[in-house]
Amino acid sequence: MNPRDPFRSRSMLGSFGGPISQDLVLILAVLFVTYSLQFFQATVLVPGAMRLGPLTWRGLWLWQAVTYPFAGWGAASLWFPLQLLILYWFGRDVFAGLRRRHFWRLIAWCTVVGALVAIGTDVVQSLMGQAEANPVYPIIQGQQLLIAIFITAFATANRHAQILLFFILPIEARFFIAIEIVIAFILFLESHDLPGFLGLCAGIGIAYVYVRDGGIGRGLRQTRLRLEKWWLQRKLAGERRKRGLRVVPGGGGSDSYLH
């Protein structure tokens, strides 16, 4: 595998064939255990101490900025095992494409950046007197962030793969990134959790850049080059308008000339 171009998974999402990584089994097990612990009075503090919220910066519980994706989130319902199933489907393909080192780097980058954005948003809201009274940021918690990361990674690497939305409607994978953001926005309208919404969007953005450009370092360089190219194009277009220049096609050739 080329570490500068790590994700080249070609497996079809949704089949149960092939080996499952121990790393993914560990993630699923931790999520299930921490999800279960919240329903017992003797252990409810364990997942609570792992979740990202205002206490992370107000109480300096800084470890929550890296533990929150692994604290299972949600009420007691059949939706949680379905989420774990979705996490398995996408996570298996992402692990196969990235391999262990890049798989965990992807999770680490998205986790930390998502937490920083969420905390920063909460700090700004608090200074403006507009902070919500949520003990945690519900939109970004637990398996919800991991599912968003893995779907984004898969969709970025396999843009034209067909995925059955709700197991019925076939949609190309590239559209699932936008669908994720729309769903997160609907959750924001319900919860008013702006830190969680922006943190989740930041995690999605990091996952997209990581897979598209083969890592964050390379991705930042590519983004800077794209911005420089865009700025130079706008600057050149402005000079053309200012000086009244126009592009005239060359006679039968591919070159153009300024007059």
State the greatest distance between any 2 C-alpha atoms of the chain, in Å, as a whole number.
82
Give the tokens for residue 30: 């931790």
Query: What are the contacts of 241-245 at 24+ separation with CB within 8 A?
Result: none
Name the residue with tokens 């997160």: 184
Residues 144 and 204 in one domain: yes
Q: Distance (Å, rounded) from C-alpha 195 to C-alpha 114?
A: 9
Q: Contact, 123 vs 137, CB < 8 A? A: no
Residue in 102, 115, 101 with CA at minimum distance from that of residue 200: 115
| DSSP character string of the chain | --TTS-----PPTT---S---HHHHHHHHHHHHHHHHTTSTTTTHHHHHHS-SHHHHHS--TTHHHHGGGS--S-SSTHHHHHHHHHHHHHHHHHHHHHHHHHHHHHHHHHHHHHHHHHHHHHHHHHTT-----SS-GGGSTHHHHHHHHHHHHHHH-TT-EEEETTTEEEEGGGHHHHHHHHHHHHHHHH--HHHHHHHHHHHHHHHHHHHHTSHHHHHHHHHHHHHHHHHHHHHHHHHHHHT--EEE-SSSS-EEE-
Q: Distance (Å, rounded) from C-alpha 208 to C-alpha 202?
A: 10
Predicted pLDDT at 3:
40
Give the tokens for residue 178: 């936008």
Q: Distance (Å, rounded) from C-alpha 132 to C-alpha 114?
A: 18
Q: In the beta sheet, which residues pair with residue 169? A: 165
Q: Distance (Å, rounded) from C-alpha 223 to C-alpha 228?
A: 9
Range of the domain at 27: 22-214
Residues 71 and 145 in one domain: yes
Residues 228 and 194 in one domain: no
Identify whether 59 is part of a domain.
yes
Residues 50 and 127 in one domain: yes
Spell out the per-residue pLDDT of the chain, length 259, in tens.
344 455 544 443 444 445 678 999 999 999 999 999 999 999 999 999 999 999 999 999 999 999 999 999 999 999 999 999 999 989 998 998 898 999 999 999 999 999 999 999 999 999 998 877 789 999 999 999 999 999 999 999 888 877 766 667 777 888 889 999 999 999 999 999 999 999 999 999 999 999 988 766 554 556 556 666 766 777 676 666 666 655 555 544 443 323 3
Q: Distance (Å, rounded) from C-alpha 98 to C-alpha 100?
A: 7
Residues 92 and 185 in one domain: yes
Residues 39 and 112 in one domain: yes
Predicted pLDDT at 84:
95
Residues 49 and 172 in one domain: yes
Q: Domain tally for the chain?
A: 2
Q: Contact, 141 vs 52, CB < 8 A? A: yes
Residues 109 and 60 in one domain: yes
Predicted pLDDT at 228:
64
Predicted pLDDT at 183:
94
Identify whether 244 is part of a domain.
yes
